[in-house]
Structure 1
Amino acid sequence: MSQRLPAHWMVPLDERIIEYLDAERLANPSLMEKEMNFDASENRIRERCKLLTYAGFIAPTHKDLYEVTTWGQLYLEGEIDAAHQPSPTPDSALKG
């Protein structure tokens, strides 16, 4: 496994979300808040999920459920540089 290369906009919570979804397959922000065991509100997790979706690392499957994508798995394996993925902005990701 190579070293992960996060993008400038990523925060440690983003990797935790991708890792959780990779292990659990499907989850919503409410479940992640309860099970991830760190200081992040459901709304904060939901916000980060929207940004990660825009960047292609996770994808919604139904309503508020998310799963990790192939790009997310490649990121976790250190095979891609996150800086080469789309960079989310509030207008592009959070309002959509």
Structure 2
Amino acid sequence: MRKRADWMVKADEIILEILEGGLMLGPTAIAKNGDLSRQHVTNRLSILVAYEFVERVEDGYYRITDRGRLWLEGEIDASELEPK
């Protein structure tokens, strides 16, 4: 079971699931695949980067980190994490 934190929203899970496929994607592609607004994805990516669930690989492209994968697998309690 995935252990959420108060700072997390449903979109975070959708974003991580999309990125779990191993692709580097930008906010527009994530938004289209997740039925989310581009602006909301952009805002959430900033937060996910701060908590090291996602990393920015180059300008406008992101990928999931090991921490993000572990959270999807239910191995990490997000409420115990601090932003960097």
How far apart are 1:35 and its partner, in Å? 2.1
Partner of 2:6: 8
TM-score relative to the length of structure 2? 0.92
% identical aligned pairs: 32
Whose Rg is larger?
1
CA distance in 1, matches of 2:83, 2:58: 24
How far apart are 1:34 and its partner, in Å? 1.8
Partner of 1:93: none
CA RMSD of aligned residues (A): 1.4
| Structure 2 residues without counterparts, runs of 5 or longer | none
CA distance in 2, matches of 1:63, 1:51: 16
Partner of 1:69: 65
Number of residue-to-residue matches in the alignment: 84
> Is residue 58 of structure 1 aligned with residue 64 of structure 2?
no
**3-state SS in 2 of match to 1:72:** helix
Q: Is the 8 A contact 1:56 1:85 kept in 2?
A: no
Partner of 1:44: 40
Runs of 4+ in 1 over 3 A off after TM superposition: none
| Structure 1 residues without counterparts, runs of 5 or longer | 89-96
TM-score relative to the length of structure 1? 0.81
**3-state SS in 1 of match to 2:62:** strand
Q: Is the 8 A contact 2:18 2:33 kept in 1?
A: no
Q: Is the 8 A contact 1:21 1:67 kept in 2?
A: yes
